[in-house]
Amino acid sequence: MKLKKSVKRKIVIFFVIVLSIVAIYIYLNCFDKKKKIKSTITSEIKSYGYVVKDTQNDAYKKEFKNLEKILNTKKIDEDEYVKSISKLFIIDFYSLDDKLAKTDIGGKDFVHELELEDFLEKAQDTLYKYVENNLYGERKQTLPIVTSVEVGKVKNVEYEYKDKKDENAYQVEVTWTYKENTAEGYQTKATLYFVHEDKKLFLVELKK
């Protein structure tokens, strides 16, 4: 026996309503609207261990391309090399806005292995201490963004560290600027010291 049209209609309406409610509920609750941010390496200079990630800011990405050019030449201009990594370090370390969490400390590619642990610990306790987690893109903090770095004097100096000596170490003076209204009172100049280790230059000291 066939159902009456009105009964059929009621059943269909009932089904539509129930399924709509279920579908709306699933949409609201099931699909994670917070997108987890996952940083991925977009480019790297393998023989030097330098990388650039998609989450890093444009200034860094631009200077990284310049570094790739410098290091891809047969005879590397070390002055240019040290200037480029000085810029990259400052952009990455002092730009806090593109960091996913306080543990995401910038510039660590350029810091000497022997110093790295202390460097990371000190950065976490000081400059990065209150950088909020942005793994889910929910951060509302205003954080510094370095827009440009000026490299001043570059000098060859003798540098002693941990019972070692580099007679051709580099002393680099740098100044930098931030995006407006993101970094009031933040540091804008520093002197960096780089030493040779194999073919690479490593940052061993940063003076205010």
| Residues engaged in binding another protein (CB under 8 A) | 1, 3, 11, 15, 18-19, 22, 26, 29-32, 36-39, 93, 100-105, 108, 112, 114-127, 129-133, 135, 161-162, 183, 185-187, 190, 204-208
Closer CB to another protein, 69 or 189, in the complex: 189
Closer CB to another protein, 31 or 180, in the complex: 31
Give the C-alpha distances (Å, rounded to integers) separating 208 from 79, 83, 148, 181, 191.
Answer: 22, 18, 18, 22, 7
CB of 181 to another protein, least distance (A): 15
CB of 58 to another protein, least distance (A): 20
Count, residues in the chain: 208
Closer CB to another protein, 53 or 83, in the complex: 53
Q: How far apart are CA 104 and CA 141, in angstroms?
A: 16
Closer CB to another protein, 83 or 112, in the complex: 112
Q: How far apart are CA 21 and CA 146, in angstroms?
A: 48
DSSP state of 3: P
Give 179's Cβ-side CA count (13 Å radius).
15
